[in-house]
Amino acid sequence: MDKAHIYEMLFAVKNGEISPDEAMLKLKLEPYSDLGYAKIDNHRGLRRGVQEVIWGQNKTPEQIVGIVKKMLENSMKNILITRLSSDAAQEVHKAVPLDYKPIPKLGIVGRTGEVTAKGYVVVATGGTSDMPISEEAAITAEVLGSKVERMYDVGVAGIHRLLDKTEVLMGASVVIAVAGMEGALASVVGGLVDCPVIAVPTSVGYGASFGGVAALLSMLNSCSSGVSVVNIDNGFGAGYLANMINHIGS
């Protein structure tokens, strides 16, 4: 249940469609749904503005289907399933209509496509190999209501590719900089824009990149002010935070 559903229920009470006692009972009964293997937080959308997101990895298709169906019963839309394998996605799709994005391994159920923020988010990547993480960030922000501009393969090895997009960068409400190797992209972007920059280190790189640790440390030590850093390969976390920032004042 989110704020929109609360308002719908309040108007229903006002219009005499349901009684105040019925509305109160519905609120009392819906803090969470207990499926045994999962307890779905039905009031998260009310508290935080965004409903629960399903972590698909390590869950069985049957568990995912059960969670999705219960969320649909509770009138939830834009249901995100992260880190969902293609095999699991095929099984889930047999039970519920699933929009599956294979590159970021994201599943979406009940997508509305509604843009609810005034500004836009830029997602920039150092290289094409960073796309699984950058697409996870971009699609997350889009599903949650943000317009997203993508800038892929604009790493510092060819800085002119990034500088060609300066106007789009400078108009953003927030920029997500996704890079592996030495992770220098975040610092460069941070030196160009006056909005928050969310740096996402990826596990892309040769041996001494230590699975993304080198990029993580580089981004944490950025000399550009206004750069924050999420965990290695955490495109979802970056997209979620960027959407929150983009909705400030909307």
What is the number of other CB atoms lying within 10 angstroms of the CB of residue 177? 34
d(CA 74, CA 246): 27
Q: What is the pLDDT of residues 106-155, one digit of tens each?
A: 999 989 888 989 999 999 999 999 999 999 999 999 999 999 999 999 99
Clarify whether residues 98 and 126 are in a common domain.
Answer: no
CA distance 147 to 20: 38
For residue 104, being part of any structural domain is answered with yes
Q: Which of 109, 129, 150 is the last residue of a domain?
A: 109
Question: Is residue 224 located within the same domain as residue 124?
Answer: yes
Look at strands 99-101 and 227-229 and give their pairing: unpaired
Report if residue 22 sits inside a domain.
no
With cut-offs at 50, 70 and 90, classify the pLDDT of residue 20.
confident
The pair of structure tokens assigned to 131 is: 């796309």
Confidence of residue 75 (pLDDT cuts 50, 70, 90): confident
145 lies in some domain: yes
Collapsed DSSP state (helix, strand, coil) of residue 245? helix
Task: Based on the fold, state whether residues 81 and 158 are members of the same structural domain.
Answer: no
Residue 35: domain span: 31-109
Kind of pairing between the strands at 99-101 and 197-201: unpaired
Number of structural domains (the chain) is 2
Residues 88 and 146 in one domain: no
Residue 28 has a pLDDT of 64
215 and 146 in one domain?
yes
- Residue 133 belongs to a domain with what CATH number? 3.40.50.1970
Q: Is the pLDDT of residue 200 over 60?
A: yes
Q: Are residues 177 and 203 in the same domain?
A: yes
Whether residues 91 and 171 share a domain: the answer is no
Per-residue buried b or exposed e for 188-201, using 16+ beta carbons within 10 Å of the residue's own CB: bbbeebebbbbbbb
Which pLDDT does position 44 carry in this prediction?
A: 79
Residues 212 and 128 in one domain: yes
As a whole number, the mean pLDDT across the chain is 91
Q: Who's near 77: CB < 8 A, 6+ residues apart?
A: 110, 111, 112
Question: Is a pLDDT exceeding 70 seen at residue 1?
Answer: no
For residue 38 the two structure tokens come to: 């999962």
Contact (Cβ atoms closer than 8 angstroms) between residue 17 and residue 26:
no
Helix (H) or strand (E) run with residue 205 in it = none
Let me know: does 142 contact 150? Beta carbons within 8 Å: no
- Let me know if residue 227 belongs to a domain: yes
Task: Examine residue 8 and state whether it is found in any structural domain, yes or no.
Answer: no
Same domain, 128 and 219: yes
In this prediction, residue 182 carries a pLDDT of 93
Q: Does some domain include residue 4?
A: no
Q: What percent of the chain has pLDDT over 70?
A: 95
Q: Provide the pLDDT for residue 212.
A: 96
What is the residue whose two structure tokens read 């559903």? 5
Q: Is 199 helix (H, G, I), strand (E, B) or coil?
A: strand
In this structure, the answer to whether residues 97 and 136 fall within a common structural domain is: no
First to last CA, the chain: 21
Are 131 and 242 found together in one domain?
yes
**What's the predicted TM-score (pTM) here?**
0.85
Instruction: Single out the residue in 81, 109, 137 at which a domain terminates.
Output: 109
Q: What is the pLDDT of residues 97-106, one digit of tens each?
A: 999 999 999 9
Q: What is the pLDDT of residues 24-65, one digit of tens each?
A: 776 666 777 778 888 888 777 767 778 889 999 999 999 999
In a domain, 45, yes or no: yes
Q: Tell me if 242 is assigned to some domain.
A: yes
Judge if 124 and 211 occupy the same domain: yes
